[in-house]
Every structure is written in structure tokens, then in C-alpha cells.
Amino acid sequence: MTETNILRLRVSICGAVQGVGFRPFIYRLAHELNLAGWVLNSSGGVLIEVEGERKQLNKFLLRIEKDKPQNAFIQSLEPAFLDQVGYKKFEIRESIIGEKSVLILPDIATCPECIKEIFDPQNRRYLYPFTNCTHCGPRYSIIEALPYDRPNTTMKNFTMCQNCEAEYNNPQDRRFHAQPNACSECGPYLRLWDAQGQVTATRQQALEKTVQAIKAGQIVAVKGLGGFHLMVDALDQDAISRLRLRKHRESKPLALMYPSLVDIYNDCELTPLQERLLNSAEAPIVMVRRKEECSLPNNIAPHNPYLGVMVPYTPLHHLLLQQLGSPVVATSANLSNETICIDEQEALRCLAGIADIFLIHNRPITRHADDSIVRIFSGREIVMRRARGYAPLPITLTAPVKNTVLAVGGHLKNTIAIGRGRNVFVSPHIGDLDAARTFDTFVRTIDDFKDLYEFDFKNAVCDLHPAYRSTQFVKSLDFPVLQVQHHYAHILSCMAENELAAPVLGVSWDGTGYGPDKTVWGGEFLKINDKGFERFMHLREFHLPGGTSAVREPRRIAARILYELFGDELFDMHKLLCLQAFSEAELKNLRVVLEKKINSPVTSSMGRLFDAVSSLLGIRNIIQFEGQAAMELEFAIKDASTEDIFSIDIKDGIIDGHLVLKEILGDIEKSVNTKIIAAKFHNTLAQIIVEVAKEAKIEKVVLSGGCFQNKYLTEHAIDRLRKAGFKPYWHQRVPPNDGGISLGQIISAQRDG
């Protein structure tokens, strides 16, 4: 097992990058940085592959955008780090004129030239909030049908004025064939509604009144690109509390929109890679570390060292934030986990009692696209929520799919996907299918993809779980359906984007997934072979006392595992914080549930083990949002720097998590600092991965599932695996959480269908 420092970087770029000297520029840049590989034009844009050391590759990536030719404009840039193939020199390859491109571009953040225009009093688009050009503006959210021409967009009802028409028809103009082209004479405009939907102001005045309202602490629903935001002044603690109260969102972190990058510097630490992402055409929410001296109210992201930040990505946002001069909270306008609102009548209904006023406009949104969320793990970006700016650009496979397939994904963080040719089109994040509105969006997205891609599927793929609404839906259709095990799908999705073939060892860790043995899986080691998978090892099982209430109450899981270790003695361990979290009456009740195993399904879930430890350490006993207990356990590590681990016991394919809990108890009794215990717990899990890899004797180790949204765990697993001579792989463009399930299902249909 050899460790190589040479990686291959693939970069897919869409935009005005053809016929502007882009390929010669890449050629020169690659030579300057001593990278081998190639560049070529394809129907979907420019494709680049270069090989070299990671540091050089990162430099290459940053310099593409910094030093690109003057007339080149990038609308989308997605990197993927892959295994090297051994290029010897750099060359410009012949163009691929493949299948006529069915690429639908995502919405693109406002370009620098358009920004200049809206702030230039001499320009005819001065302060016009719907300014755009061929380089920027809405795409996915306004397209009703293909081809992408104005009559097929929601701009069809706006007739261009003479000036706009002249730009549209002039090949020398930046707005030549810019489909959403508009100005204040002829295009969409703003309106301000009160809570009853009565117009209180229009156009410029609507914007000014909105600024005043936010400064006065009001909650404003703002219609943006792919849906509505709820906005409040990020410096106003009371306004944020009010928003949380009305939205029933007690403590889940809220995203921020800053006027500019410079303003983010005041509050947060930024790396060059994070800067690149914030400034990119995708303009996602980027998770960044808040500075010690950051003075923002704590209720934006309680108990959280990170902030989710973005910069304005539409002219409307630019104008609003510039006039405000300080950041706003900008959170999706919905009830928790529902689809984001896209229509003003719908918003008025759904946000009644939440928003004080509504800043709306008359350019309809065809389909929703939430803000995407990106983090940096091990010096590389990882998309945690793939939506605006990214979806529906395809994930390209190494081989074409055998037949056109529809994959309907999981249940939480649902996405759907279709496979066609070598492309898999994954939908933007849809949400949790429990809510009726979200389920409607799910069905609508399937119909929508069918129409947009003129896609006639013959087969469908879904999760193995019989109770998932996605499973039930697809089974009600008249198609052959393949059901795919959840954790297997996680690993396949990660293999696909890393272009890996079997054999690999899949480490699939998350909260829950249906196992073929009808138990709840979640701490799985899967050997992936050419045919399918083998459950090689898994976390020692335990009961979930009270089923779903155990998921809400980590204290129940802690109590259960301790009960399995100590029996009735547990109830004499009065010092335990997880027990102190129960009232007398609750304890009595719990005792019966534990003894008789009432409503206590068996699970091997790693997510639940995180919950148990979080409660045992007194960090989180009852959660307010999914993943909270595990998240806060990770954050509890703070600045602890220890490589110590607890004992590891692996026997007969079972990893003993109970033993880890027992040792944690020992540390607690010795009054070891919580941050040290939290670090040791994470280190132990990372080392467990190494130990299992050694037993499996498989070089390639693939990390997927919701647990790998944990930065500390992922980075330490990567480090330990590398040091032990293994090759770790993790996610890049597709989320490790259930947003990636639909991609994995498509792959399964190729292997197993």
C-alpha cells in the first residue's frame, strides 16, 4: 500500500469560456505550475484535468478565477480531486462534440459589471433590482421549458423596451440574447406588502421602506431568486429571538448575508478557498469560523463556533444590503424542513404570523432552489446542501447508464435524480418528506425533470425502507422498482463522485437506515464488491427506548446503553448528568421501558452513539433539531489537542461501542475535562476505522453518511487512514448526508439492476 502525493484535479467550467483565449490561458498556467494533463472544449463547457501535488492543484484552482482572460466569464466551476492516472505532459486536446447538451444552468450570482451598473447614477440601470446579462442572473428558477428562450421563461410577459431590445439584438453587447434582459422601463419591479397583502409601496420606495423596517427590528419576507428569505437585522438580538419564536426554530443555526466580503472579515476567519467560494458564481453559504471578538448576538448560532455566511447574489440583495450597511439573518422562508416558499400568495399564507411585511416582485419563480451550503474539510470543499448555483448540473460517470432510471432518494433531506448517458442530474435539495408541502414538491420535481429533460424512464429505484414516502410513491407507479439498502447507496454515491471501482471498504455511518434484516442500521462497514455488498462489520447493537422519542432524547439512549452495561445499578448512579435530566416520574417510567424493552427497536446506529455520548457528558439531553447532539459534541472539543483514544474491542464483526461508553464513564469519574473526553471519543472512532480497514485488507476506504458532516471526525479519519497506508475517500460535490442517496441509487441500478 503506497501513499502517493500526486492527485488528479478535474475542473468542469461553464460560462463564457470558449473563444476568449481560455484554453491557451490554462495551458500557460499549467506549465507555470508544472502540472501535467489536458484541457478541452465540450458541449457542456471547458473540461480540465491536471495532476500534481495538492498544494499546486489548489494554487491552480485559485488562479483560474483570479487570472482568467479578460473576456472570460465563469458561471460555474466545480472541482473534483481524483486518483492520478499518470499524465506526462500538458496538452490542449481536441473538442468533444458529444450528445447535444441538455445542460440547464443553475442561477448565477450577479456579475461585477452588472453590480457596477446598478451603483452608477449615470447608468440607465441605476438601482434597478432585476439587472442581469448573459454572464449572470436567473436560469433554473425561471425556465418553464427548453430551449432556453425568453418565451419559455417567466420573463415571457415582459415586453422589452427599445433600449433593451437593441441590446438583446446586438452581438457586440453584453446582453446579446440575455433572455431575462430588462430595465426599470420594461421589466419586473418591486412591491411592498403589509401582512395582509395590501400594497404599501412600490419600486424604489418599497426598497427604502424595507430597509427602514429591518432597521426597526421587523421580520421581512423577501422574494429572491429561488424562493423567499426571512430577513432580520443580524445585530438585533430581540428581532432574532422573535424570528425564532415565530418560526418555531429554537436553536438551529441561522445563515447570514453580509454586504460584502470585507464585512465578513470583521467577524470571521477566512481562508483563500473560502473567499473563492463566497465570491464564486455559485455564491453558496460557506461555513466559516467566527472570530473571538465577533460581536454578533449569540442567538444566531448558539453553542456553535461556525457561522454560515454568504454575500449578495442578486441585484436586489446588493441594493438592500448596501443601504443597510450591516449583515442580515437570511433564512429560508418556510416552516422547519418544508420546501422554501416561491410564490407570494403561498408566502402570504405560509408565513402568516411570521413575517411582518413582504418585499415581493412580479417575476414568477418556476421552481425552488434553496441556498447551497459548503464547508472546507481537509483543504477541500464539500457541498453539504446542493441547490442554488450547483443543481441541476450533472455528476458525470465513467460509463453511460444502461437504461434511463429515476431515483427517488431517501426520506430526510430528499433529492431525486435521473441518469441519462454518462450524466446523473441530481435535483436541488427538496427537504423532509413528512410535510405535505414538501411531498408535493417532491412529486412536482419528478414531473418537472421528466418534462425538462424529455425523460421517459423505464425503471425506478428507491430505498429499502417500506415506510418512506418516496418508496411508497414509486411503488404506486407502474414500473419495475429496485429497492436499494440505504448505507450501500451512501457508499455508492461517494464512489461515483470519486470515480472508484470495487473493491472498497465502505464506512457508512449515520442516524438511521433500514437494514435487510429489518433492524435499524447506521454504524456499518460494508465491503463493496463487483456484485453488491457484504455487511463486513457493524457497531454493537442496542435498543432505542421509546423508538422515535429516543431520537429526540439522547438521554434515553445514554440510559439504555448504561442499563445494558450495569443493569439496575444504573438507577443508583445519581451523579450521572444524563439521569439528572429526567424528573422522578420520568425515571420511573423509563425504568419500566428499559426493563421490558417497550417499543424499543434494535439499532447499530453510529449517530445514536454520538447522541448517547453527548448526553453522558451533559452536553445535550433533548434535541431541538436533527443532529444537534452530535454537532455540539464535536464543538465541545474546542481547542483540545490530544491523540489519545479509548480501548477498542472488535470481535466477530462487532465493534463494541458500549465499552467506549464505559471508559468515558471512567474519565468522567476521574474528572477529565469534557473537551478531552470529546476529542478522545472522536479519535477512537477514527482509529476504529483504521482497525477495521486492516482486518478487511482493502486499500480504498470510502467515508459516507451523515456522521461525516462532522469535520473533526472526517479529518481525523483521513489522517489516521493515510498514516496507516490506506487511501481515504470522502465527498466533494454531493453531500455525505441523505441528499446523496438518489445518486447512489442510480449507481446501484447500473450494478445490480
Pairing label, strands 700-704, 727-729: parallel
Compute the least distance from the CB of residue 362 to Zn ion, in Å. 15
3-class secondary structure, 449: helix
Compute the least distance from the CB of residue 524 to Zn ion, in Å. 47
The CA radius of gyration of the chain, in Å to the nearest whole number, is: 26
Distances from the Cα of 475 to the Cαs of 378, 436, 446, in angstroms?
Answer: 41, 18, 14
In this structure, what is the dihedral angle of CA atoms 488, 490, 493, 494, given to the nearest 10 degrees?
-110
- DSSP type of residue 270: -
Residue 176 contacts Zn ion per CB under 5 A? no
137 vs 607 by CB, closer to Zn ion: 137
Is residue 143 a contact partner of residue 363, using CB atoms and an 8 Å limit?
no
Residue 165 contacts Zn ion per CB under 5 A? no
Give the contact letters, 730-749, x = binds to Fe ion (CB under 5 A), - = no: --------x-----------
Q: Which stretch binds Fe ion (CB under 5 A): 92-100, 223-231, 509-517, 578-586?
A: 509-517
Residue 111 contacts Zn ion per CB under 5 A? yes
* Position among 125, 135, 139, 244 found at the interface with Zn ion (CB under 5 A): 135
The binder of 408, among Fe ion, Zn ion, none, by C-beta within 5 to 8 A per type, is none
236 vs 510 by CB, closer to Fe ion: 510
Is residue 509 a contact partner of residue 524, using CB atoms and an 8 Å limit?
yes
The binder of 133, among Zn ion, Fe ion, none, by C-beta within 5 to 8 A per type, is Zn ion
Compute the least distance from the CB of residue 142 to Zn ion, in Å. 15
Residue 136 contacts Zn ion per CB under 5 A? yes
The binder of 633, among Zn ion, Fe ion, none, by C-beta within 5 to 8 A per type, is none
Compute the least distance from the CB of residue 74 to Zn ion, in Å. 12
Pairing label, strands 423-426, 395-396: antiparallel
Residue 432 contacts Fe ion per CB under 5 A? no
The binder of 186, among Zn ion, Fe ion, none, by C-beta within 5 to 8 A per type, is Zn ion
| Residues in CB range of 372: below 8 A, 6 or more apart | 282, 284, 285, 383, 385, 386, 387, 388, 389, 390, 391
Residue 133 contacts Zn ion per CB under 5 A? yes
* Among candidate residues 564, 463, 591, the one with its CA nearest the CA of residue 521: 463
605 vs 621 by CB, closer to Fe ion: 605
Residue 161 contacts Zn ion per CB under 5 A? yes
Cis peptide before 503 (omega within 30 of 0): yes
The binder of 136, among Fe ion, Zn ion, none, by C-beta within 5 to 8 A per type, is Zn ion
* 619-656: b (≥16 Cβ within 10 Å) or e: bbbebeebbbbbbbbbbbbeebeeeebbebebeeeebb
DSSP bridge partners of 700: 727
The binder of 351, among Fe ion, Zn ion, none, by C-beta within 5 to 8 A per type, is none
112 vs 400 by CB, closer to Zn ion: 112
Q: Which stretch binds Fe ion (CB under 5 A): 247-255, 503-511, 537-545, 652-660?
A: 503-511
Give the contact letters, 694-733, x = binds to Fe ion (CB under 5 A), - = no: ----------------------------------------
Residue 386 contacts Zn ion per CB under 5 A? no
E strands in 252-392: 256-257, 268-269, 285-290, 306-310, 328-332, 357-361, 373-377, 380-385
Compute the least distance from the CB of residue 524 to Fe ion, in Å. 10
> Letter for the amino acid at 427?
S
Is residue 406 a contact partner of residue 461, using CB atoms and an 8 Å limit?
yes
Residue 119 contacts Zn ion per CB under 5 A? no
199-258 residues in contact with Fe ion (CB under 5 A) are none
The binder of 383, among Fe ion, Zn ion, none, by C-beta within 5 to 8 A per type, is none
40 vs 161 by CB, closer to Zn ion: 161
Compute the least distance from the CB of residue 706 to Fe ion, in Å. 5
Residue 626 contacts Fe ion per CB under 5 A? no
Compute the least distance from the CB of residue 189 to Zn ion, in Å. 11
Q: Which stretch binds Zn ion (CB under 5 A): 101-109, 175-183, 321-329, 685-693?
A: 175-183
Count CB neighbours of 242 within 10 A: 17
* Position among 510, 524, 611, 626 found at the interface with Fe ion (CB under 5 A): 510
Residue 186 contacts Zn ion per CB under 5 A? yes
Pairing label, strands 504-514, 700-704: parallel
> Letter for the amino acid at 629?
A
Compute the least distance from the CB of residue 149 to Zn ion, in Å. 18
d(CA 181, CA 165): 9
Three-class SS of 471-535: HHHHHCCCCCEEEECHHHHHHHHHHHHCCCCCCEEEEEEEEEEECCCCCEEEEEEEEECCCCEEE
- Provide the binding-site residues for Fe ion, judged by CB under 5 A: 510, 738
- Provide the binding-site residues for Zn ion, judged by CB under 5 A: 111, 114, 133, 135-136, 161, 164, 183, 185-186
